[in-house]
């Protein structure tokens, strides 16, 4: 059994919210995996992909969604498949798709990301990093949506 197997078997929590009159979809890790220590994954990385919605829904066009899915698969293989990180939430809607990850080492994670995307055309990504060894951002968000 590999380290990432229990997380892969875990079901995602899904939720929706309204933001600027647009429905926004959330896919959330329901809880921190019991087999890890958050301090081992102290860096939070937000990857934001802005897009132009083709209609009033604020959701991505099918071709954008396909590119986002491919990006996410490569990201999961590079970070989660190697034990480098955990995806904690994906937020899609209002012309933005955002992935939030916790990783062991920011520099190594970004190098792996660049390698995983090397053969793709440039993607419209905005990446933010911060230190969050207690997974405060994740825990705070989960507390807000479960109240």
Alpha carbon distance 113, 77 (integer Å): 10
Q: Is residue 3 part of a domain?
A: no
Q: Note down the domain range covering 104.
A: 38-146
Q: Is residue 132 part of a domain?
A: yes
Q: Is residue 18 part of a domain?
A: no
For 35-79, what is each residue's pLDDT tens digit? 999 999 999 999 999 999 999 999 999 999 999 999 999 999 999
**pLDDT value of residue 8:** 47
User: Could you tell me if residue 34 is left (phi over 0), alpha (psi between -120 and 50 degrees) or otherwise beta?
Assistant: alpha
Q: Based on the structure, what is the number of domains in the chain?
A: 1
Q: Is residue 20 part of a domain?
A: no
The CATH number of residue 81's host domain is 3.30.70.260
pTM of the model: 0.90
Q: Is residue 67 part of a domain?
A: yes
DSSP label of 142 = H
Q: Is residue 21 part of a domain?
A: no
Q: Is residue 31 part of a domain?
A: no
Q: Is residue 110 part of a domain?
A: yes
For 70-114, what is each residue's pLDDT tens digit? 999 999 999 998 999 999 999 999 999 999 999 999 999 999 999
């Amino acid at each position: 059994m590999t380290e990432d197997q229990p997380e892969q078997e875990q079901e995602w929590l899904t939720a929706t919210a309204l933001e600027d009159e647009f429905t926004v979809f959330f896919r959330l890790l329901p809880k921190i995996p019991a087999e890890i220590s958050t301090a081992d994954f102290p860096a939070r990385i937000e990857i934001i992909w802005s897009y132009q919605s083709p209609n009033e829904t604020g959701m991505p066009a099918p071709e954008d969604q396909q590119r986002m899915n491919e990006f996410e698969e490569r990201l999961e293989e590079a970070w989660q498949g190697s034990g480098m990180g955990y995806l904690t939430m994906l937020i899609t809607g209002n012309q933005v798709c955002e992935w939030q990850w916790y990783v062991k080492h920011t520099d190594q994670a970004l190098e792996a990301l660049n390698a995983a995307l090397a053969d793709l055309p440039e993607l419209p990504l905005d990446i933010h990093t911060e230190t969050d060894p207690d997974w405060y951002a994740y825990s705070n968000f989960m507390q807000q949506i479960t109240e």
